[in-house]
Structure 1
Amino acid sequence: MIYLYTSRFPFGQIAESFLSAELKVASSFGQEVTLVPMKDDKKKRQVPSFVLVDRPLCKMGVWLKALALLKVFLPGSLSLWRCCKDNEFSCRYIGDAVKYLFAAQLVYEDLRQKTSISNQSVFYSYWLSYGPLAFAAYKQEYPNSQHVFISRGHGSDIYSTLVGIYYPMRKFALQGLDRVFVVSDYGRSFLQKKYSEFSSKIELSRLGVIQPLKVSPSGSDSVKRVVSCSSLVSLKRIDLLYASLISFVETTGISIEWHHFGGGELFEDMQQKIKQKTTFRLHCCLHGMVDNEKILEFYENNHIDCLISVSTTEGIPVSMMEAISYGIPLLSTDVGGCKEIVTNQTGLLLPQNYSQEEFNTKLSEIIENRDTYSKSTIDFYNAAFNAKHNYSAFYQIIQSLSHADSSH
């Protein structure tokens, strides 16, 4: 049995939507998977028949939560006081420390329940955050356990303090994991250099998306269409993208139809910015939070010249994987692992603090060569981000870890 701890999946509209592709491939390995989300809501996505959903963390009572919070302030393996010995900790991170230690306490209690009825299971945290902390605390208390503990690492959960987030006791968490699967080579190198004593258990395992039946059609109209797909939060700099697009159409005279998919705390601010300053050559459509299936339908039924990202930090965005699978080229800031998917086959990179001239030149080049890029992006997708290939390799490794542990 694999217990997969998620933030919200399979609940919500967009949270961890990329897990759908992974679970479809997992079915071919005959693995039983139980999803254990931290939060739920009314909207639940469909999952394959072999996937169970267990919600003890969502349904935990007030008194149990209060006890877990109290334990954060008492001596123990998941205590706030242990953070004082952490070189990365400072007083400004107390809020983050309490938040993630509390979540780890909840997962730890759930672990104890599940391990009492299972001889050997794989416990898999989708994020390198509170889950691995709980795993480490469990292994510290039960050092002879036959269970396997693994985690993925994506973007902000790897670079953490670089983007203003503190994940407590990272070395302790890594010590408790049997393997860390990082979605980008950049992220793998970052972790291996920073925590060299654990480098042998940190490896690359890319995400992937299911190959679509159709690709984005070639365009014949005079209007050029670009998309962006992300949460509307400050790190994604969608306000900067909007300003760049306004300047682009005014400078080049090229009309642009811009579609943004994704909601977030800055959604209303973005709506106001568009109302206050607009130009007839730029048509804006903020779709808000949309089911992933609707986004893919849009890609399939509309000619799209480019997907643009101007974020300050990324792992390797699944939105980019989806775009290239449909033959849509990419324009992105050179941050995190983006250079591993934005290559001379798939698009062009911008400096993080790009000039307007650089933006204009590179977007124009992609628009002019869109159909040439379209074929090479699909070839690159099949070689690097095909879900069937990447997730098959991932679950083969999980099986080998399980067999190796049971033979000891």
Structure 2
Amino acid sequence: MVDTTSAPAGPTLLLITSFFPFESGEEFIEGEIGRLAAEFSEVLIAPLSYRSGMTQTRDLPANVGVLRIPPGHRSGSDAADAIRFAVRHPWRALRSLSRAVADGGLRPSRTWANLQFDLLSSLLASELAQLLPEGFLRSQDAVIYSYWMHTQARTAVELRGLIRRPKIPLVTRGHGGDIYTEAHRSGFLPQRARIAAAMARIYPVSRNGADYLRRRFPSARNRISPRRLGVAAAHNPGNPQQAAQLVITCSWVRPLKRLDLFVDALALAQQSFPQARWVHFGGGPAEAMAALHDLATEQLAPGSFEFAGALTNSELRARYGAQPATVFVNVSETEGVPVSIMEALAQGLPVIATDVGGSAELIDADAGMFDGLLPARPSARIVADRLETLLSSPPERFADYVSASLTHWQSEWSSETNYTAFARELASLPRGSADTGITTNAPAAAPRPDVAAPALPHCSVVIPCYNGEQTLPRQLDALLRQDPKVVREIIVADNMSTDGTKDVVASYAARDPRVKYHHSDRGQGPVFAQNDGVRASTQPFVMLCGADDEVQPGWAEGFAAEFRAGAKIVGCTIVRTAENGETLEEISQLSDASWPGYLTLGGGQAGFARHVFDELDGLDESFAGAAEDVDFFWRAQLAGYGISFAPDARFNYYSRPTGSEVLAQRRGWGRSRAQLYAKYRSLGMPRRSRFLAIPMIPWCLLRLALAGTNEHRRTQALAGLGTNIGVLEGSLKYRCWYL
């Protein structure tokens, strides 16, 4: 029974692992589990590879329980288990077969691998569903977290469907072998796309892994973001000694670790540094260990090497603290983000490592660390040269390398920092609609742990502008009346204007240095000006507004209040206004009418944290006509950001003064709506209708004829006509049926 008497109020977490907390492996979870327990009311661990007789080797917090698959339900063979499941559940096996054929294509080996993988995941999900407590089965207030993007993640997908809780968000980490297909002889990992499509978040442990997955699964790219692992502070940190000439390696002994290459390199280095010694930590198959020992005996100076064997993590850290070393070396041919290097950095050791997987993220020569990054496939001579360079460096330079390694660990790879932020992020995940975890009309986004709102948010205002000579002064006057402690700069991004826009901006810049001119000439359209303007901004928060609109008093303060409360994206009130100042309509709420569950937010009414813009790579410039803002904020919601609303932030949106301008604007909107549908239909955006535009065009023409001289009715008819013509044009252009 899990003790929840002192647990925090909040959701329940189901953590799906391989073995943890049994046997060895998955050591990173040791540092993470306490942080998870502090943020969730209850944590349930499901080790899918558990077998009867395994020993629990890790202590757990009081509110953490373990779900053990009963003895006898698993054999020693995954293939045998899959076949047994198929015999017991033929209909589910047929569904697995259909998925396997769809994913495997015409390659029988891949179809079989997919089938076995699908059946095994279905079996594990069935067994796990029987072990879940009744409270978990009744609640939607939970998160399912897979530690690996493999069987564990596929089981999570199957389990959620089995217990019929589609609103529970699924998240998965990704490490090395569960990300990179090249790490496998077959060059294949089963059901990647199915896993990626179902996850609300995919958290590779390195930037390299995130970039790799984004290339493989572009439709999921906005749900993929790296979240680093970490290690605890070392025993006796900062103790490395250059004079010791002691080289450390730490790994399981197998071919891809290329320890034979290291032995060749050390043999070369010993020609210049005969006192250089080597200690290897880690075990391996007896035959492989014997072969490595024989090679070292043949190549290295007598008595200059030691095989310390497999140690527990605490034993290894104690040994590092007690025996000062000089350098840590890893020449593996493939990696995720190696914990062994993190442990070395925490000790202060300079590192020499091949540029594979996420290893490059662990070595930052620009920050003063020793430049030990090797090519992915180095020769023994190249490795030896790096060793010799370090061993011959001036003592004061070596001391700087030690200090830089410690600093890099503290800032990037500390378990306390990384796991606390990660646990809080998981606990704050929106638990809303199926798969995406998006909450409809959420009042505010949960604060992201990586960027905190300042006490008084400093904001940049970006105005995309084309030929704004006549209307821009009205907007600039209004902005300069806002609180200057909030509005720190006003950037006018001039999109190749042909009138006096530049002179207008220059005259205002002469009066107030916060007004800045930025020339945007990469392409014609507001999306280019918005991207260029935001990228030129210098403040942590950005607010967009139109050159032909006018913000009202208190507009900036309204946004600032939401940012101060932790919001990352904020919308405001639109006051549709005639050129004579008459209020036509006030829009004081956001809508999800175009795509239920996803709020539509226009750029002219929006503000956001700059890091959100950077995380999403800015606005999609394929939306050169319109809807680039709608697309951006939908992508933000798919990435897990909520949208807050600032009712006291108001601006006047001036209606187009002529019928031709209204018609042109709405045609652009209609085309862009079809473009949005072409992009998001696979994620569930509904079709507008099958034939609505076709009868609406003549209906709007009739309304226009009947409107006579009534300007308001004429404008409404032209707006409807333009929208439906644009939808028809866009459906043809983007090859979709959004009529």
* TM-score for both structures, normalised by structure 2: 0.51
Matches within 5 A, 1:69-84: 70=87, 76=93, 79-84=96-101
Given the superposition, is the C-alpha separation of residues 23 and 160 from structure 1 closer, same or farther in structure 2, using an over 3 Å criterion?
same
Identity %: 25
Compare 169-178 and 278-287 and name the one that shifted more. 278-287
Structure 1: stretches of 5+ with no match in the other structure: none
Contact 2:234 2:346 in 1 (8 A): yes
**Distance in structure 2 (CA, Å) of the matches to 1:303 and 1:99:** 49
**Distance in structure 1 (CA, Å) of the matches to 2:389 and 2:171:** 42
Q: Is 1:21 the counterpart of 2:45 in the alignment? A: no
Deviation per residue, 1:101-154 (Å, 9 max, x gap): 344123311343327641132211110001222233345567762322111001
Matches within 5 A, 1:220-299: 223-249=244-270, 251-265=271-285, 267-275=286-294, 277-280=298-301, 283-299=304-320
Compare 295-304 and 128-137 and name the one that shifted more. 128-137
Structure 2: stretches of 5+ with no match in the other structure: 1-11, 441-739
Contact 1:72 1:79 in 2 (8 A): no
Partner of 2:124: 107
Q: Quick one: higher RCO (CA 8 Å, sep 6+), 1 or 2? A: 1
Matches within 5 A, 1:330-369: 330-344=351-365, 345-347=368-370, 348-367=372-391, 368=393, 369=397
Alignment equivalent of 1:207, drawn from 214, 218, 229: 229
Matches within 5 A, 1:3-402: 3-13=14-24, 15-40=25-50, 41-42=54-55, 44-56=57-69, 60=73, 67-68=84-85, 70=87, 76=93, 79-86=96-103, 90-93=107-110, 96-97=113-114, 100-113=117-130, 114=132, 117-118=135-136, 119-120=139-140, 121-139=142-160, 145-164=166-185, 166-212=188-234, 214-219=236-241, 223-249=244-270, 251-265=271-285, 267-275=286-294, 277-280=298-301, 283-344=304-365, 345-347=368-370, 348-367=372-391, 368=393, 369-402=397-430
Given the superposition, is the C-alpha separation of residues 80 and 242 from structure 1 closer, same or farther in structure 2, using an over 3 Å criterion?
farther
Q: SS of the counterpart of 1:315? A: coil
Q: SS of the counterpart of 1:200? A: helix
Compare 137-146 and 341-350 and name the one that shifted more. 137-146
**Distance in structure 2 (CA, Å) of the matches to 1:256 and 1:72:** 62
Counterpart amino acid of residue 363 in structure 1: L
**Distance in structure 1 (CA, Å) of the matches to 2:163 and 2:208:** 34
Contact 1:255 1:281 in 2 (8 A): no
Contact 1:135 1:176 in 2 (8 A): no
**Distance in structure 1 (CA, Å) of the matches to 2:86 and 2:310:** 32
Given the superposition, is the C-alpha separation of residues 188 and 64 from structure 1 closer, same or farther in structure 2, using an over 3 Å criterion?
closer
Counterpart amino acid of residue 23 in structure 1: I
How far is the alpha carbon of 1:218 from its aligned partner?
Answer: 4.0
Given the superposition, is the C-alpha separation of residues 87 and 365 from structure 1 closer, same or farther in structure 2, using an over 3 Å criterion?
farther
* TM-score for both structures, normalised by structure 1: 0.88
Contact 1:126 1:151 in 2 (8 A): yes
Compare 120-129 and 43-52 and name the one that shifted more. 43-52
Counterpart amino acid of residue 84 in structure 1: V
How far is the alpha carbon of 1:54 from its aligned partner?
Answer: 1.7
Cα RMSD, aligned residues only? 2.9
Given the superposition, is the C-alpha separation of residues 319 and 190 from structure 1 closer, same or farther in structure 2, using an over 3 Å criterion?
same
Given the superposition, is the C-alpha separation of residues 22 and 94 from structure 1 closer, same or farther in structure 2, using an over 3 Å criterion?
same
Given the superposition, is the C-alpha separation of residues 194 and 231 from structure 1 closer, same or farther in structure 2, using an over 3 Å criterion?
same
How far is the alpha carbon of 1:248 from its aligned partner?
Answer: 2.2
Given the superposition, is the C-alpha separation of residues 64 and 218 from structure 1 closer, same or farther in structure 2, using an over 3 Å criterion?
closer
Contact 2:40 2:427 in 1 (8 A): no
How far is the alpha carbon of 1:161 from its aligned partner?
Answer: 4.3
Given the superposition, is the C-alpha separation of residues 74 and 95 from structure 1 closer, same or farther in structure 2, using an over 3 Å criterion?
same
Counterpart amino acid of residue 428 in structure 2: S
How far is the alpha carbon of 1:60 from its aligned partner?
Answer: 2.5
Contact 2:148 2:175 in 1 (8 A): yes
Counterpart amino acid of residue 390 in structure 1: N
